[in-house]
Amino acid sequence: MDRYALLSREQVARLPNFWDVAAFLLVLGVFVLMSYGSRGMTTPLSAPEATGVSLDYQYLPYYGLRTTLRMFAAICVSLVFTLTYATLAAKSRRAEMALIPILDVLQSVPILGFLSFTVTFFLRLFPGSTLGAECAAIFVIFTSQAWNMAFSFYQSLRGVPRDLEEVAANFGLTPWQKFWQLETPFAMPGLIWNMMMSMSGGWFFVVASEAILVGDVNIRLPGIGSYLALAIDERRIDCVAAAVVAVALIILAYDQLLFRPIVAFADKFRVELTASQTPAESWVRDLFLRTRWLRNATTPLARLLARIALLQMRLPGTRSVARENNPYAERALDFAWYLILGSAICAAAALIIEFLRTSIDFAEVLRVAQLTFYTFLRVSALIALTTLIWVPIGVWIGLRPRVAEKVQPLAQFLAAFPANVLFPVAVIGILRFHLNPNIWLSVLIVFGTQWYIAFNVIAGASAFPNDLREAAQNFRVRGWDWWKRVILPAVFPYYVTGAITASGGSWNASIVAEYVKWGNDRVSAEGVGAYIAQATEVGDYPKIVLGVAAMSIVVILVNRLFWRRLSVFAESRLRLL
């Protein structure tokens, strides 16, 4: 008699099947790779394998693994930062007064600015160990990922439809329950697309994070970035091409294993009354859905998380809490808060002025102001150009899930394409044909600009409710009226979020794009990005501070006077419902 005939249907369902074996091998393989790649992160800094980089092709898989682990460590920290920082800014009026301007400042500070002043701290935190340099590299990658995600989540929390807010209030949800049951699911599609953008944006600065060169500090951590930096120094165009192929394969791997399943999972969080006709698909997601043991093993954890999300926790100080009955107490608290913020700003300004006063003269300040204006013109022109190109393309892709599914890995690769790969072409072309570097080096900034706008517009179009699309079709809204009255208002809040981060990303990219090297040949454009890059190379800290301060001031002013006003307009006039 068949032994399965003696078992109940529930017992048979608990037995392992082919999909259990495949999923187990996949998960075990990932853990083995993580263990293998993390072994070199704690070796002594003086060990040859700790900072040694070879251009031999056989080391590329290992270097790719080390870089990928740093990227995922940074994205995990960025996600925790987003869920806490952006939520506090969106929920607390007083916290928003400080946190959003601080986020503007952090976004405007260039990557090399963070690296210049944090690498020594991390090296002293773990003296004699590679872990200090690893933490510095992860922190630099974190600064290229976190701000974009935080802005996206903040805007999504502020744009929750009013009718859903009323439903949550009628059900008596506490702020904790509302956050996990309504606000986070609503923000999920935009957050996921911005996570992909942040992951790809980290690749753009991977050379600066792994090949640490600040004054007398010269550390090359094993990774794709340091491999690419060494290939550029030694004029090995074949190694540059090999690094590009390795990056493409890595992006394809984590797209299939991580982001594609997450996108398919987030499809359930779309705000619409009718189901999408073309749901997102993922073979990894289907694989885990067909398993038995893994599903049974993860069920207790899922139930525990669900219970935590439904806890009756009441968080004070949120926007959903009613105003205090005493307006005088509110004004007193506001005055005290403004006083604290003003004192902190004055103290920081005095500290910066005192640091610059002894080594920077007024003529240098005027020169940096002029260079900052040149970079401002360059960045503004490129953002306008990329807006005209990527808004219609992003809408077209986002409204077609099948197309978005196929374009996603290609878009991630193009977004992650390191600008350093184009240095040989840029330097050789400019020197050979006597081209103007102020014009032709500007093209490199596009790689740090366009993808923030493209990914956010795609996310906005992907989140557009299917029932509203059907309503527009039924009312025969077509042509320019459809663009003006339907889709552009729907994606505008997402576009503003992308444009804000694109502005900061463009200023960061100017440091890489305005000062390029190919071996001993150097080409620079007039701009504050080249100024900061050259000051960082020689370890001139007063000039680094001056350049970073000038860049930060301009970015903050542009955000406050232009982009934030558009954000308020989108929040007040163009909410979904």
pLDDT of 81 over the 90 cut: yes
Is pLDDT of 302 > 80?
no
Measured CA to CA in angstroms, residue 249 lies from 2, 65, 193, 391 at distances of 47, 11, 20, 28
Task: Provide the pLDDT for residue 223.
Answer: 87
Cβ 442 vs Cβ 524: under 8 Å? no
- Report d(CA 113, CA 144) in Å as an integer: 12
| Model pLDDT for residues 303-317, shown as the tens digit of each residue | 887 788 777 766 544
Mean per-residue pLDDT, 198-210:
76
Distance (Å, rounded) from C-alpha 559 to C-alpha 379?
13
Residue 387 has pLDDT above 80, yes or no: yes
Q: Which residues pair with 211 in a beta bridge?
A: 220
CA distance 553 to 490: 31
Q: Does residue 463 contact residue 404 with C-beta atoms inside 8 Å?
A: no
Q: Are strands 217-220 and 211-214 parallel, antiparallel or unpaired?
A: antiparallel
- Among the listed residues 272, 291, 258, the one whose alpha carbon sits nearest the alpha carbon of residue 186: 272
> Which band of pLDDT confidence, cut at 50, 70 and 90, is reported for residue 322?
very low
Q: What percentage of the chain exceeds 90 in pLDDT? A: 5
Q: How far apart are CA 212 and CA 220, in angstroms?
A: 6
Mean pLDDT of 259-271: 76
For residues 353 and 380, which has the higher predicted lDDT (pLDDT)?
A: 380
Over residues 469-502, the pLDDT tens digits come to 888 888 888 888 888 888 888 888 889 888 887 8
Residue 441's Cβ-count burial label (10 Å; 0-12, 13-18, 19+) is buried
pLDDT confidence of residue 229: 81
What average pLDDT score do residues 443-452 get?
A: 76
The residues spanned by each domain of the chain are 57-270+280-322+360-573, 323-358
Q: Is 256 exposed, middle or buried (0-12, 13-18, 19+ CB in 10 A)?
A: middle
Share of the chain above pLDDT 70, in %: 77
User: Which range (13-27, 121-135, 255-269, 522-536) has the least confidence?
Assistant: 13-27
* 143-199 pLDDT tens trace: 888 888 888 898 888 878 888 888 888 888 888 888 888 888 888 887 887 888 788
Cβ–Cβ under 8 Å, residues 265 and 247: no
Per-residue model confidence (pLDDT) at position 213: 64
CA distance from start to end of the chain: 62
Please give the sequence-ordered ranges of beta strands (E in DSSP) within 364-407, or none if there are none: none
3-state class of 56 per DSSP? Answer: coil
Q: What is the reported pLDDT for 148?
A: 81
CA distance 192 to 12: 37
CB 445 within 8 A of CB 422: no
- Torsional sign, CA 123, 127, 133, 134: negative
Note the pLDDT of residue 334. Answer: 67
| Residue 34 φ then ψ, to 5° | -60, -40
pLDDT at 206: 77
Residue 320's pLDDT band (cuts 50, 70, 90): very low
Q: Does domain 57-270+280-322+360-573 have CATH number 3.10.180.10?
A: no
Mean pLDDT estimate for the chain: 77
Measure the CA–CA gap between 227 and 209, rounded to whole angstroms: 12
* Residues making up the chain, counted from first to last: 577
Higher-confidence position of 237 and 415: 237
Structure tokens at 115: 């690296």
SS3 213: strand
* Nearest CA-CA partner of 139 in 118, 123, 109: 118
| pLDDT on residue 11 | 53
For residue 14, pLDDT over 70 is answered with no
> Band of the pLDDT at 373, cuts 50, 70, 90?
very high
Angstrom CA distances, 358 to 354, 362, 535, stand at: 7, 11, 17
Instruction: Please report the pLDDT score of residue 376 as a whole number.
Output: 92
Rounded to an integer, what distance in angstroms lies between the CA atom of residue 204 and that of residue 222?
17
Residues 6+ away with beta carbon under 8 Å from 215: 538, 539
Q: Decide if pLDDT at 319 tops 50.
A: no
pLDDT digits (tens, 9 = 90+) for 215-235: 566 778 888 888 888 888 788
Most confident of 24-28, 66-70, 338-342: 66-70
Q: How far apart are CA 219 and CA 436, in angstroms?
A: 33
